[in-house]
Structures are given as structure tokens and as C-alpha cells.
Amino acid sequence: MKILNFFKTIRNNWKKSTFAACLVAYGVDYAIEKQKVKEMMRAYCLEAVALGQTSGERPKRVTVILNPAANGRKAVKDFEKYCAPLLHLAGLTVSVVNSDNEGQIKGLMDVMDNTDCVVIAGGDGSLSEAVTGFLRRPDANSAAKKLPLGIIPLGATNQVATSIFGKYEKREQFMAEATKAVVEGNTKLVDVMKIEPKVENTETPAKPVYALGEVQWGAFRDAHVRRNRYWLYGPFRSYASMVFSWPKDELAWDCQAHIKYVKPCTGCSKCGGRHLAPEIEPPKNRRWWHSFLSKPTNFEKKADFSKIINEECGVQHELDVNTVDFSIASPNAVPTVQSTDSALQIALGQKEVGFTDFVKEGWNRVGGEAPEFQEIHTAQEVWFTPKIEEKKIKEETKEEETKAETYMRWLSIDHENFELMPMHITLQPDRLTIFCPRQKQM
């Protein structure tokens, strides 16, 4: 009888029953997922303990520069839950420094010393700021060789970390794998873009900016920047931004610039391979008793390029740009750059784009697919001169007009806003040492 009454109640209140069933299903799925993450972290912790008990040349003193504002201020909680336990269980001495304001990471990296490695816990912006501060140091060349950098992806955008560690369905696994790389101590060399702004009418030249990812300019970049305006759509705000940004005049629909670039050269009689990183030849015939002696010095191998002829070396090529989407990317950018060669990729999108194509391409990018470009060039050096004009924009008020013109004058370097201006971009091969998964160790 009670069972019949139960089903009768469900039939008479089917709307409430359906809603309750959905809540129960969501709760069960949430609990199962939490249990899976818990078991996964337990496995990572056991592995960290095992790694800590084995001998090897792994860093002992780790300095973590943490950006608390990353990913909507979730970074501290994520770090303490999924990253810090692995570092401590591995027996590392961990010092955490919070970056409380913009620009502080640069200052910290400028004086960073007395540690075995530095770990940047944040997004692409935090990483770019750290690399810039690090490579602006007077002793940058020597410091870059002896002080490896770790990357823990705690930000909203983690393009460089994705290129190093790959994609993961679970964000928790992504963070744990990046932390595990620091514990294991496997390293590789990565290329860096040196970006020198060309500011007119100034007595002192602007300081260079260093980046591991890419320079972006255009409508898709602007729509991505606007995504937080549509916070009402929650996790779908990036998709909403692609829809409602059309056809806003404040987006850069008409990116015009003049480009000069030099194609990459692997070394020839003309350049002598001066832009290439020196090859280090480790000492040979090491024996067990050598461990009691002083550590030998590595020697640089000097390649002979005198017989190699490359007519394109040093030759400047020119390119006029008129597009809705423009980028200059390093080999670290994913999925923009598909080649593993040390070369910059200059990518141009369509000259014009309709609403359907804009939304489709924008949604594909939000979903993690590779952007589609109409024209691609490779380069070692790039001289970028944008065409900046005073543009009349039809808006209801003068305030909106000023706002729209402001949006036309910005680009992104590793997803951080920078003023649109002429710049000289050079790729520096094998400039930094970073921690990586074991299979990518070099």
C-alpha cells in the first residue's frame, strides 16, 4: 500500500518529482567525481613520497610565486589542495610568496636568488611577467642556466602549460602533473620571444617584454577580452561574447599593419649561427671516483658554418596586413604553432568575416580547437608597424566613442593587454630551462 501511495504521489507531482530526480542525479555524479579526484590525488601523493625517498639531482629548495588573483581568486585554494601536498611529501623545502599587486612578480624575479628553482603558480600573464622580470636582470644569461622555472597552471588561460604538459579532462590532474614535473626534476630548454616596443619622442628606450606564447591582435582577441561582461551566462560567457560582440565597432575588425621579417636560418656562412643557442658538450668518460672531485666544466661546441650557403639569410621580406585576426606566435604556443622548429609564426586571418563564420570560428577557439588562418609565414625576426588612425565611430555618446577608440588600440601578449604600437620581435632559441614531463626531457 505504501509503495502504491509513493508512486501515486510522484504521478500527481511529476514536475517536483522530475526536479528532485535531477538534483539527486547531479548529486550522485558530483560525489562520484569527487571520489575519483580523491583517489587520483592519493596516487599522486604516494608517487611523490616514493620520489622523495630516491636519490637524484632534483631541486631541494623551491620558491613558489603564487598569484592569488588567478582564475577568479581560486588559485590559493587549488594550490593548497592539489599542488602543495606533492611538494611537501617529496621532501622539498617550499617557500611560497604571494604577488599582491601587478608588477610585483617582475620585482621578485629581478632579485630571486638563494633557491634551487622557481615555480610560477598562475596563468599565462603571471608566467610572462615572471619571465620578463627574470630576463631583464643584468645576470640573466648566467641565471637562466642555473635556475630552472616550474609552471603550475592555476590561471584562466594556460596556453604555455598546455603545450608542455598536454591537455587533460580534469583540471586537478593538469595541476598535479605540472607539480609532479617539479618533483621529478626533468627539464627542457624553451624558446622565448623578446619584444622591444618602439616608442617615439622619448629619451629613454622602452624596456623589452619577454613572452613564451604569442602576440594577438584582432576581433577574436577583443571578443575574448570582453567575455567577463557576460558573467550572467556563467561558464558559457566566452561563447556569449562571440555572439554579442558582433558587430560591435569597439572590436578591431580592420587590423592594418606593415610587416618586415627575416626568415629563420639554422646557421650559415653569412650569420655564423649567431642567433642559435650554443650546444653544450658534456664531459666524457666519467668514472665513479670522479664524484669525489670537483664538478667538471661543460664545453660549448662551436659548429662550422663556413661551408653552408643560405641566400635568404638576413634578407628582409615585407608584408602588408589587412585582416580581422593577426598573431605572431612562438613554438610554445598551442595549438597555433604546429612545428617544433625554432621559428616565429606570423598568421593572418580573413580580411572580412560574416556573423556566422565569426561565431563558428570563435566557438571553435573557445572549445580548444586550432585557429584557422588564411596566410602563414615563418620568421626569426619581425618588425611590426601597425597603422593607427583616428577613426570615426558611430556611437550614441562621446563616452562610448572614446571607449570604442580605446579598444582599437590594444593587443595581447600572452593574454595580457598592451598598448598597440610598433615593435621589434626576436625569437631567442633555448633561452630558458623549464620543468617538463619525463618523456619531454631534453
pLDDT, the chain, mean: 83
CA-CA distance, 402 to 421, in Å (whole number)?
A: 18
Average pLDDT over residues 308-333: 89
CA 114 to CA 220: how far, in whole Å? Answer: 43
State pTM to two decimals. 0.82
Q: CA–CA separation, 343 vs 427, rounded Å? A: 7
pLDDT in tens, 17-49: 777 777 877 787 878 888 888 999 999 999 999
Domain positions in the chain = 22-190+433-440, 214-266+310-413
Query: In a 3-state reduction of DSSP, which class is residue 276?
Result: coil
Q: How confident is the model at residue 197 (pLDDT cuts 50, 70, 90)?
A: very high
Topology of domain 22-190+433-440, CATH: Rossmann fold (3.40.50)
55 vs 255 pLDDT, higher one: 255
Q: Which residue has the higher pLDDT, 79 or 409?
A: 79
Tell me the C-alpha distance between 171 and 328, whole Å. Answer: 28
Mean pLDDT calculated for residue range 253-261: 93
401 or 6: whose pLDDT is higher? 6
Percent of the chain, pLDDT > 70? Answer: 81
* Per-residue confidence (pLDDT) for residue 418, from 0 to 100: 92
Contact indicator for 324, 349 with CB cutoff of 8 Å? yes
Contact 210, 128 (CB under 8 A): yes
Contact between residue 79 and residue 122 where contact means Cβ atoms under 8 Å apart? no
* First-to-last C-alpha distance (Å) of the chain: 72
